[in-house]
Amino acid sequence: MSVLVNKNSKIIVQGFTGSEGTFHASQMIEYGTNVVGGVTPGKGGSTHLDRPVFNTVKDAVVQAGADTSIIFVPPAFAADAIMEAADAGIKVIICITEGIPVADMIKAYDYIKGKDCRLVGPNCPGVITPEEAKVGIMPGFVFKKGTVGIVSKSGTLTYEAADQVVRQGFGITTAIGIGGDPIIGTTTKEAVELLMNDPETELIIMIGEIGGQLEADAAKWIKADGNKKPVVGFIAGETAPKGRTMGHAGAIVGGADDTAEAKKRIMRENGIHVVDSPAEIGKKVKEILG
């Protein structure tokens, strides 16, 4: 079992022939991910990285059976790319692009609401189910198969957590990088819920940061509905000054509950095993799983 992506996913790359798309698509293919083609308007009918190029996502769905898309499209066009994928019937849309205007994301978010699809991101590292599919920009060699699920707002801390889990002798079911923008498709709670419902995931690592309510919402849901598995939590940004964006567009302390301290308190109150440093994640996992 896995969530969102696996060896049977049929993946296309939007922005396939651009420099970012080319680089990361080749890494994904090398990892063994089932990339069935890519989309670059105007280049349909050609091939790139030994895969077909399509003019539209619809063509890729009809001709290659694509069900998953990863987006490497510049910020000005990325929201359109998300909407195009949803319109074409893609089930899992993973948007890597950073810097999409908030007004564009509001439009895209509203547009895909009624569609049968799930958006991960934007401004995220993607999703990886180790040894099956890497749909993103994460270093695949860090991840080994196992029973620990990861949900994270931070790309770098996703890799750090995975590395520590592996060093402790465990592995990962699926790691989901949800992204740190103010408006994202899949929330912390939704990603945690996917892993709670995955029979192979025994423990979940939840990595958050200052700004917004996502971690608090997830923590409250875990206590009320989803407390079937242990959750290890970490919040980045403890030393961040109030009112200043730190790294991610969404990482800005707005109210009293947006601080790292407040989020950690809420997580503890809801039964999450909170660590104060990312360096302690692996040890805590070992302590719980034994």
Q: Is 226 annotated as a binding residue?
A: no
248 is catalytic: yes
Cα 37 to Cα 21, 26, 80, 81, 207: the distances in Å are: 11, 11, 19, 16, 32
Q: Is 18 annotated as a binding residue?
A: yes
How many whole angstroms separate alpha carbon 69 and alpha carbon 81?
Answer: 10
Q: Is 96 annotated as a binding residue?
A: yes
Looking at residue 241, the DSSP 8-state letter turns out to be P
Q: Is 259 annotated as a binding residue?
A: no
Cα 53 to Cα 76, 78, 116, 259: the distances in Å are: 22, 18, 25, 46
Which residue in this structure is represented by tokens 């898309």?
A: 69
Annotated active-site residue in 24, 48, 248, 273? 248
Query: Which distant-in-sequence residues (6+ apart) come within 8 Å of 239 by Cβ?
Result: none
Cα 115 to Cα 86, 88, 91, 122, 145: the distances in Å are: 7, 10, 9, 18, 32
Q: Is 43 annotated as a binding residue?
A: yes
Three state DSSP letters for 194-236? HHHCCCCCCEEEEEEECCCCHHHHHHHHHHHHHCCCCEEEEEE
Side-chain half-sphere of 290: how many Cα atoms within 13 Å?
1
Q: Is 114 annotated as a binding residue?
A: no
Query: Which distant-in-sequence residues (6+ apart) come within 8 Å of 220 by Cβ?
Result: 266, 270
Backbone CA torsion sign across 274, 192, 178, 37: positive
Residues that constitute the known binding site for CoA: 17-20, 43, 96-98
Pick out the residues of the known binding site for substrate. 159
Binding residues: 17-20, 43, 96-98, 159
Residues with catalytic function? 248
